Structure 1
């Protein structure tokens, strides 16, 4: 079983390439709150819905002092296509080895259509300005999740 993060845990640090191959480091966000959301695959229906919900809520989230980063095992070229097709304006980072996803507890066994499979567990983390986990949500639904997150965060 993949270990899961909980509030108060230090957020695992990372530096991963974004859609353009440029490094994105969690350390660069120190002093700001970050919403890091893990999704299985760019350009799939659920992941597109979730990404577009984050895009459409970005002004309110940024206004509340929250930056958004999406993470998936997709290669940068696929992330660039996804970003451009959907007009996404926040970083999407690539973790093809799934090392960071695993550290966050967002990769492992999950139930899919009644079967146990290994893959990305759709998850969302709020990382505080101090670098610690404020909120860790696992097995979230693609549809309606951003609205629920905004409600949970009073944004």
Structure 2
């Protein structure tokens, strides 16, 4: 079941592109936007994350930490981050495979990858906004802007 506004955000620890663990609980006191995506190097995912990269100042000025998560291994995410110049965290939910995506209700169990789910988590660790798009449908930057205005 996908998380909804008002639900506590499941805690997690995942490695970033340098292998450094990022622990959601360590971010308490500041809001975070957790963005799940299916695959590094894929067309829609690249477009979505480049749009976030190009508008990162909107998230930073709102004090929101951006965490992008997929079931890709660390090495693939690192290569993609370097290629695209992403200045935000890319986290690997590779092993145990999809454990965090499953906890957030966005793991496609049949295909073994995360769905396009985004969760705005407040400073207290509560989901304040959530969206999950069907396969092949990108997320809208305006929806992120609307959610940021509520935090």
Change (3 A) 1:94 1:46: same
Q: Give the Cα separation in 2 of the matches to 1:74 and 1:134.
A: 27
From 120, 124, 141, the equivalent of 2:118 is 124
Aligned to 1:150: 145
Normalising by structure 1, we get a TM-score of 0.87
From 118, 129, 133, the equivalent of 1:139 is 133
From 57, 64, 67, the equivalent of 2:65 is 67
Q: Quote the offset at 1:117 in angstroms.
A: 5.7
Q: Give the Cα separation in 1 of the matches to 2:98 and 2:111.
A: 15
Deviations 1:75-128 (A, max 9, x none): 01000011000000000000011000000011136xxxxxx8664211100001
Instruction: State the aligned residue count.
Output: 146
Deviations 1:18-75 (A, max 9, x none): 1111101101210111010000000111110011111111111110111100000000
Secondary structure (helix, strand or coil) at the match of 1:154 reads: helix
List alignment gaps of at least 5 residues for structure 1. 110-115
Aligned to 2:21: 23
Q: Give the Cα separation in 1 of the matches to 2:55 and 2:13.
A: 25
Q: Give the Cα separation in 1 of the matches to 2:13 and 2:111.
A: 27
Q: Give the Cα separation in 2 of the matches to 1:21 and 1:118.
A: 22
